[in-house]
Amino acid sequence: MASEEQKLSQLQQQQQSSKLQIYSNCNTGISDFWKDKYEREAKKYWDIFYKRHQNKFFKDRHYLDKEWGSTSKVVLEWLILCYLMHLQVGCGAGNTIYPLIATYPDIFVHACDFSPRAVELVKSHEDFKLERVNAFVCDLTEDDLCKHILPSSVDIVTMIFVLSAVAPEKMPLVLQNIRKILKPNGFVLLRDYATGDLAQERLTCKDQKICENFYVRGDGTRAFYFSEEYLTSLFVENGFDVGEMGLCCKQVENRSRELVMNRRWIQAVFRLPSDNISCVSKCTNVGVIKESKSNGVKTSSKPTDDSDVDISDSIAAEMFGVSPSVDEIIKVDIGGHSFRVRGLTKDYQHTCKSTGLMLWESARLMSVVLAENPSIVAGRRVLELGCGCSGICSMIAARYADLVVATDGDTKALDLLNQNVPLNLKESILCKLVTRRLEWGNKNHIQEIKQINSNGFEVIIGTDVAYVAEAISPLFETARELISTNTGIQGDFKPALILCHVFRRVDEMSLLSTASQFGFRLVDRWPSDGKPNNSTQSIVKSWFSEKGYEEEFQNMALNIMYFQT
């Protein structure tokens, strides 16, 4: 009986292995490497965002004069009666600014964003006038607002889906910065994402969590989802009174897909008191927008229209489960060779489950190495594991190798690869490149590769394929099955497995330990760890000598590991 159970367990393990993907199915959240990267390069991601969408991403916001409660009505009456100073934080392309100055002709608006491209979009608007708008680049977590605006000179600050883009630990810095330029009894009008919003639920399912209620979207921009308690505490602790606060809910319907989605956001008014003592208004004085339930769905008791929800393309894709388009043509110039490949940009790395639809920096580096050092593959049989849709390394190698087999376990990536390869290779080179599906550890797939080349491969390449722990054993197992056992070919050359990657979820010791289990030993690496090693032959370092491209990739945390059996 025990024997039968063991056989069943082994069969289940084999079935799981045959279906293994190189992305993780666990919900572990974003790694520390990516958390740091998204924080460090937040400005870049928003700049890319505005480069792609220009001023067409959000609808113009005409609701400021009707959507806040009694406190904001008083504020907006001042707008009509007085010449007021207004600051729009996170102005974006100006979707709030220009409806506001069109409604109130005497208002002066300061507008800041930490995306230079967004500020340029504001300045390029047909209604931009220096006497009406002061637009400038400013990172409120680092830059002093008083360098652009006089202290205690602003009557109203609007923050429309802005604070959510800031890491929670830096939100107090933003509020303290705003306090400097806000007049006593000045107001902050805020609208932002609320916990329980559908977008948050979808981001949670896609393993995109940075920390509690803070997520990264597919395009690299980030979003925090506020509870009323958290937002109240945040502002009170930084010296503001709560004027009013409400949770707004709205159903968004996609009729073509027969889906009804629930969006949630918080709307609030905060006041900077004239003294240094801040307190929260009593609950009876806080204008909370109450919720009602209809068919089990919460809806706002206030009537709203379609302009109430700022829905972006990427958020809509997350909401409705629409996969991003792969119609974009990515141009890649490698060592004098120009490629045009169809695929996704890395902006979608955490939205799209298929990592093979993107061109990663490790593949760029390895393709440059091959282009500058054709002797690595010249006259040899080459296998690429996890080549993805672009197959850049395989297409470079096919120019010099006798045979190249480009493989991936993702059928979508292979479909795109089969479109990209004929577009970039001449017939004389094309005949040397074969594409096949290969799930690591899948015996049938491995056998099919062996039928193409029964003598094994002298060079096996893998770029960014070593970042999920569950995939490491099948990776080395497959490489061991398919690497050539003829160690005496072409002089002193020995068959090699070359991996290029950034260390993420799999640490170096785990990688080396697994490699050793399958008979691979690390012979050389780049960058060098500086440790004396008699087995190191400076093979990889020679690929960079006097080539002029090493410095370009040194700051990208990339590694090349050269294994032999």
Contacts of 210 (CB under 8 A, 6+ apart): 29, 30, 35, 38, 167, 216, 222
Structure tokens belonging to residue 100: 């506001």
Contacts of 7 (CB under 8 A, 6+ apart): none
Q: Which of 73-82, 199-208, 224-233 has the highest mean pLDDT?
A: 224-233
| Region of poorest pLDDT, from 194-208, 254-268, 346-360 | 346-360
Residue 176: the pLDDT is 95
- How far apart are alpha carbons 480 and 173 in whole angstroms? 54
pLDDT band per the 50, 70, 90 thresholds, residue 434: very high
- Alpha carbon dihedral 439, 444, 450, 456, in 10-degree steps, equals 50
* Residue of higher predicted confidence among 511 and 275: 511
CATH numeric code, 326-564: 3.40.50.150
User: Is a pLDDT exceeding 70 seen at residue 259?
Assistant: no
Residue 286: the pLDDT is 34
Contacts of 148 (CB under 8 A, 6+ apart): 110, 112, 134, 136, 138
User: Is a pLDDT exceeding 80 seen at residue 160?
Assistant: yes
User: Is a pLDDT exceeding 70 seen at residue 343?
Assistant: yes
User: Is a pLDDT exceeding 70 seen at residue 22?
Assistant: no
In the predicted model, what is the mean pLDDT of residues 444-456?
94
High-pLDDT (> 70) share of the chain, %: 70
In the predicted model, what is the mean pLDDT of residues 246-253?
77
Helices 116-123, 42-53: inter-axial angle, 10-degree rounding? 40
Q: Which of 14-23, 351-360, 385-394 has the highest mean pLDDT?
A: 385-394
- Alpha carbon dihedral 391, 396, 400, 401, in 10-degree steps, equals -20
| Whether the Cβ atoms of residue 381 and residue 403 lie closer than 8 Å to each other | yes
- The ranges assigned to domains in the chain are 32-320, 326-564
In the predicted model, what is the mean pLDDT of residues 452-460?
94
First to last CA, the chain: 40
Q: Which of 113-122, 339-348, 522-531 has the highest mean pLDDT?
A: 113-122
| Whether the Cβ atoms of residue 334 and residue 371 lie closer than 8 Å to each other | yes
Neighbours of 252 (CB within 10 A): 17
pLDDT in tens, 39-77: 888 888 887 777 765 554 454 554 455 554 444 555 555
Counting every residue, how long is the chain?
Answer: 565
Residue 519: the pLDDT is 95
Residue 399: the pLDDT is 93
Burial of 155 (C-beta count, 10 Å sphere; 0-12/13-18/19+) = buried
- How far apart are alpha carbons 248 and 299 in whole angstroms? 7
| Region of poorest pLDDT, from 38-52, 119-133, 225-239, 408-422 | 38-52
Residue 235: the pLDDT is 96
pLDDT in tens, 283-321: 323 333 333 333 333 333 333 333 344 444 444 444 334
Residue 329: the pLDDT is 77
Helix, strand, coil tally for the chain in percent (to 5): 35, 25, 40
* Residue of higher predicted confidence among 205 and 521: 521
In the predicted model, what is the mean pLDDT of residues 407-433?
90
| Region of poorest pLDDT, from 2-6, 104-108, 118-122, 502-506 | 2-6
| 3-class DSSP state of 198 | helix
User: Is a pLDDT exceeding 90 seen at residue 407?
Assistant: yes
* Residue of higher predicted confidence among 82 and 232: 232
- How far apart are alpha carbons 93 and 54 in whole angstroms? 7
pLDDT band per the 50, 70, 90 thresholds, residue 385: very high
User: Is a pLDDT exceeding 50 seen at residue 279?
Assistant: no
- How far apart are alpha carbons 241 and 185 in whole angstroms? 10
- How far apart are alpha carbons 94 and 134 in whole angstroms? 12
Q: Among 3.90.1200.10, 3.40.50.150, 3.40.50.300, 3.40.640.10, what is the CATH number of 32-320? A: 3.40.50.150
In the predicted model, what is the mean pLDDT of residues 25-47?
77
pLDDT in tens, 487-540: 655 557 899 999 998 887 788 899 999 999 999 999 999 887 655 454 445 888
| Whether the Cβ atoms of residue 102 and residue 133 lie closer than 8 Å to each other | no
∠469-345-89 over CA atoms, to 5°? 105
Residue 289: the pLDDT is 35
User: Is a pLDDT exceeding 90 seen at residue 400?
Assistant: yes
Rg (CA), the chain: 28
Neighbours of 225 (CB within 10 A): 24
Residue 92: the pLDDT is 80
Residue with tokens 């637009």: 135
Residue 507: the pLDDT is 84
pLDDT band per the 50, 70, 90 thresholds, residue 445: very high
Q: Which residue, 173, 144, 154, 152, is CA-closest to 234?
A: 173
Residue 394: the pLDDT is 95
User: Is a pLDDT exceeding 90 seen at residue 197?
Assistant: no
pLDDT band per the 50, 70, 90 thresholds, residue 233: very high
Residue 504: the pLDDT is 72
Domain 326-564 in the same topology as domain 32-320: yes
Q: Which residue, 157, 160, 162, is CA-closest to 180?
A: 157
pLDDT band per the 50, 70, 90 thresholds, residue 4: low
Contacts of 387 (CB under 8 A, 6+ apart): 356, 393, 394, 406, 407, 408, 413, 417
What's the pTM? 0.55
Residue 374 preceded by cis peptide, ω within 30: no
388 DSSP assignment = T
